[in-house]
Each structure stands twice: as C-alpha cells, then as structure tokens.
Chains A and B, each alone.
Chain A
Amino acid sequence: MRIVIAEDNVLLREGLVLLLTSDGHEVVAVADSGPDVLPALLEHRPDAAVLDVRLPPGFRDEGLRAAVEARKQLPGLPLLVLSQYVEETYAAELLAGGAGGVGYLLKDRVSRVDEFLDALARVAAGGTALDPEVVSQLMTARRDPLRALTPREREVLGLMAQGLDNATIATTLVITERSVSKHIGAVFAKLGLPPSDSGHRRVLAVLAYLNS
C-alpha cells in the first residue's frame, strides 16, 4: 500500500515508517504539521493515511480537521487517525460522512503491531476500526438503551462496533460464526435496526443509534 503519515513526534514518525515499510508498505510522504497534511494527501492520493490528531502549529486538533477536510475533497480516502486519548465526539465527527474507510485508535495500539496493521488493512479496504475504549465510552454513556441486551450480545455489539467481522468475532469469543450472526440478529432486533452485512455499515448503524 502507498501510505501518507502525519505525525510531528520524530521518534514515533520514524517508528511508524519502520513498522509500515517492514510490513511491505510504501510510505510516500510524511507531514509534520497541520497545514502540510492536506496538500500531501491531495498530491499523493495514497491508499491509506495515518494521522495524528494534535499537530503543530496549534497542537489542538489540526490533524482531525485535516482528515475531515480531506474526506470532503477525496470521498472514501481511507484514514486511520491516531490520538493520545480517545474522545467519542471525534469518532462521531470522523464517521459523520457515513462512508467507511475510517479508523480512530489510541496511539498505544501501535505497540500491538499485528492488531495495528490489521486495523489499517481493514480501513484501507473500506472498513472501520474503532478503538475499544471509544466503544466502551459509548457503551457506558448509553447504557440505558442497551439494557435489553444480554451480556454476550453486548460483547458482540462491542466487537462489532470496533469494526470486526463475524469470523473475527467468533475467533475472539471462541464461539461459532453461526451463533455470532444469531447474536447480531438479536441485537439488531432489540435495537430496532434492519440487519445489514458490511462491517462499517453495521458500525455506523450502531453509532447512529447510540448517538441519537
């Protein structure tokens, strides 16, 4: 994959480049400040971009704003946003467009190299990757509507909201794929959502419901 990285911390940037190139990807551009992000993305039109939320000069949410703007100009551009902390508002903003190919992860997750690369691949393929912490924040905040769910169904919903597909959920929970789809069916029924197949649409449906 051709990848653009936006990260101002030199050590982390070099680490990301090393990690991605060692996995066989090509880092076509790196940006180290907010205003550089959009031009780099527009020029290279990469297969995926990894962006930090806080970037110079303001160290506020330049990265996130650049990401939202880039998606406006290049619809469907796969973006994986990394942050030092999770904020469900940001996740909602990224997902607001409605299309897939978006990820929002804690920076810590980079240390789980396989999971990180997996999330990036999912995003590049048009899927969704949400940090488990964002999901748990959403779940805590919206406990009431979820009261009807069984603990197992809640678990499945959580993994589903992170962007995992049925097969992965089945492996994670050590159950059959058939029971996963049965749980998902029950969740959709209890939350009053029409069933659908593709990963990111499921996440969006869940998020849309949770944020309503």
Chain B
Amino acid sequence: MNEATRRGTEALRRSGDATRYLVGGLGTGLPALLAIGPVLVFLALLAFTLPWLPDAVKPLRALAGMERRRAARRLGREIPEPYGTADVKPEDARRLLRSPALWRDVAWTLAHGFTALVAAVLAVGLWPAIPFSFSLPLWWWAAPEGSQSAFVTLDSWPKALTLPFLQVALDAFLLLWLVPRLARWQALLAEALLRPTRRTSLTERVEQLTETRAGALEAHGAELRRIERDLHDGTQAQLVAAALRLGLADRRFDADPDAARALFLEARDGVEEALTDLRTVIRGIYPPILSDRGLAGAVRALAAGRPIPVETDLTDARAPAAVEAAAYFVVAEALTNVAKHSGASRAWVTVRRDGALLRIVVRDDGKGGADAGRGSGLAGIRRRVAALDGATRVDSPDGGGTTLEVDLPCGS
C-alpha cells in the first residue's frame, strides 16, 4: 500500500468514526430537541413551577451526564461534574436557580437540541451522495426534464460528464474535512458547557477547606479537653492530696513525729507522681526535644532509639510548630507501626521541605499488607494530617514492604 492510499484510508476511517459519533449524538440530541419546548415553558412559568425544579432537574442532569461521558470518551480526557452534591433535595430549588451549572445545562440542551440532528443527517447523507453522484452520467438522460443534480440542472452530456465529478470532490471534501470537525465541535461544546466553571471548582475547594478546617477545629477542641481532663483529674488532684498530707503532717508534727514523717513521705510520692503525669501531658502537647533540637534532630533521636536500623535523610528546614509536631507524631507512629507489625529488618525515613510542602516518607522492607482501615496507628496519622489539610498515601502490597507518604502544607 503506498503512502497516499494509506493516508486516504486513514482519513476515511476518521470520517467514519466521526459519523458514528454524530449519529450517536442523536441519542442525546433527539431527547434534547424534544426537551427544548418543555424547558422553555417551564422556565417561562418559573414563578409557578419553581417547587418542581428539583425534580425537573434530574432528567436534564441524566441527559447531560450521558453526553458528558460520550464527549469525554471522544476527547480522551475526563469531564468532571459541576454539581456540588449528587442528589438534589426539594428545598434546594432556590439554591439551584442560582447555580451556574443549571443554566449551563439548559444552554447545552438548547444548543445540542438544535444542532445534533442537523449534524447527524449531514454526516450520514454525505456517504450515499458519493455513489449517487457517480451514477448520474448513467441515467440523467432518462429522467424527466433532465435535472438530477443537487445544485445544477443536468441537461447536456458535457455537463453530465463534468458536474458529477465536481460534486464528488465537494462531497469528499465535506466528508473528510468537515465531518471530523463537526464531531469535535460537538464534543467541545459539551465539554465547554458541562464541565465545572473555574468558580465552581473554587467553590468546591472552599467547601473542602471548610470541612477540613472544621475537622481541625474539632480535633483541636478534643485535644484541649483531653489536656484539661488530664491536668484536672490527674496532676491537680494529686497535688491537692499531697498538700492535704502536708497540712496533716503539720498538725501532727509535735504530737506524733513518726506519723508526721510518714505523711511527709506520702506527700513526696504524690508530688513525684504528679510530676510524671505532667511530663506525659507536656510531651503530648509539644515534644520538648522538638524545641531543643528542631525537627531533624528530633527525628534523628526517634530513629536512634529503635530496635531495627533506621536510615534518615533529613533537611534542616524549619516549619510552623504545629506542622513540626504533626510530622514528629507521624514519624514516631509510623516507626512504632514498623516495629510492631511489619516484621521489617530495616526502615528509611525522609523528611524534606519541598516548596510550601513538608514531605515525609517512611519506608520499610517488611511484609506489607498494612491496612489503614484496621490499624488505629494509620488512622491516627490520617486524622492528624487531614486536620492540617495534608495528604496521606499508603502503599503496602503483600510481601512488598510498606511506604507511607505524607505531605503537610507549611502555609508559606
């Protein structure tokens, strides 16, 4: 097959694909065409029809959804849905009216309804037009009044022998050049109108941030309550008991020195216990070694105190205290997991600043199969990272070791 033939068949194949796409467009185009009337009436009478809007939107969205998937396949890229939430509740009618997605769906219905049928008929009609034109010289003389071309009357042999070929050339040009473009324009039209606008994407992002922020505030609140409870029920109570014993010892000091001495010792024990509790609470709020040695030093210390060798690759870049505390927690928890569950013989910890992100990678050569759904350690890591709007990824194939990756935004 020579080059020209190959390119010719390739062009024909493309045209055939495009034709099929345009014919497929009837699947959404005809319903859209039929919907134009009702949609316009519905919108004209909106003052009365508003309560039914949420119900009316559903078939429209279903139709738009079909077209979105069809166009996505044709264009080879995803077209996300612009609707915030999947199901629409009856009380959402007014909110719906203000959403750009609704009006863009309506605009697409009008545009597609008016054009899909024309495009499909054109594309399909062009194919039989070629053999028809070729056959003209065979029978034009038999036709009454001798007129069988699309634009020109064939009434003489010279015309009959030239015009059909011009016609075929025009036909072929339309088939090979216009039809693929028509299909592309149809898909682009769907994409332009049915994907989320920049504004809706931003709205979604804001909603997501609001959610993670709410999560962060809640986690923070729970943390404050826990600290308060630990201090109030533990440390404070112990100190009160110790002070009480000292008071009693004072009263007994002259009368019964031995009993007083025993009380003094009990008071000391109480104070020591309170100090131990206090240390635990302080560690939970902010590990002291972080402020002493910074994140790199603290992680190095974490790695040093492990039963298996841990290699570290750390940069000294500092991050906000909350981020460093979370990073420290992630590494500590991950290394505890490695020691407890993985059966690994080595582990690697990487902490580096990557622009506005602090990236943490903890890897081991253990047996893998870590499940974020089961382990409370991984769930704790996820929660803590999500509260800072970070991302957690776990890759743990059976028998292939475990890699935990965490990105924490540093806000600069």
Contact = CB atoms under 8 A, between A and B. Distances in A.
B167 to A, nearest CB: 89
Contact of A60 (B268, B291, B305): B291
Contacts of A143: 307
Interface in B255-286: 268, 271-272, 275-276, 279, 282-283
B276 A61 contact: no
B242 to A, nearest CB: 11
A85 B281 CA distance: 12
Interface string A142-182: 11100000000000000000000000000000000000000
A47 B300 CA distance: 34
A96 to B, nearest CB: 12
Interface string B278-304: 010011000011011100010011001
Interface string A52-78: 011000011100000000000000000
Interface string B295-326: 00100110011110000000000000000000
A32 to B, nearest CB: 19
A144 B308 CA distance: 9
A61 B293 contact: yes
B307 to A, nearest CB: 5
A88 interface: yes
**How many of chain B's residues touch chain A, expressed as a range?**
20 to 34
A63 to B, nearest CB: 10
A143 B306 CA distance: 9
A211 interface: yes
A141 B306 contact: yes
Given A59-B291, A61-B292, A111-B272, A142 B301 contact: no
Given A111-B271, A143-B307, A87 B289 contact: yes
Contact of A211 (B275, B300, B304): B304
A44 to B, nearest CB: 27
Contact of A85 (B271, B282, B293): B282
Given A84-B288, A111-B271, A144-B307, A89 B276 contact: no
Interface of B is mostly: helix
Interface residues of A, number: 22
Contacts of A84: 279, 282, 288
Nearest to B304: A89
B288 A141 contact: no
B304 A85 contact: no
A137 interface: yes
A141 B292 contact: no
Contacts of A92: 304
A108 interface: yes
Nearest to A141: B305
B307 A85 contact: no
B283 A85 contact: yes
B288 to A, nearest CB: 5
A89 B288 CA distance: 13
B387 to A, nearest CB: 25
Interface in A86-100: 87-89, 92
A66 to B, nearest CB: 14
Nearest to A211: B304
Nearest to B267: A111
Interface centre among B272, B297, B305 (most CB of A within 10 A): B305
Contacts of B276: 108
Contact of B272 (A88, A108, A141): A108
Given A59-B291, A137-B305, A108 B282 contact: no
Interface in B181-214: none
A25 B301 CA distance: 36
Interface string B222-264: 0000000000000000000000000000000000000000000
B275 A108 contact: yes
Nearest to B302: A89
Given A108-B272, A108-B275, A137-B305, A89 B291 contact: no
B294 to A, nearest CB: 9
A141 B292 CA distance: 21
Contacts of B297: 89
Contacts of A137: 305
Contacts of B275: 107-108
A89 B307 contact: no
A191 B191 CA distance: 71
Contacts of B305: 88-89, 137-138, 141
A143 B289 CA distance: 23
11 contacts: A60-B292, A61-B293, A84-B279, A85-B282, A88-B301, A89-B293, A89-B300, A92-B304, A108-B276, A138-B305, A211-B304
Interface of B: 268, 271-272, 275-276, 279, 282-283, 288-289, 291-293, 297, 300-301, 304-307
Given A89-B289, A89-B304, A211-B304, 8 more contacts: A87-B288, A88-B301, A88-B305, A108-B276, A112-B268, A142-B307, A143-B307, A144-B307
Interface of A: 53-54, 59-61, 84-85, 87-89, 92, 107-108, 111-112, 137-138, 141-144, 211
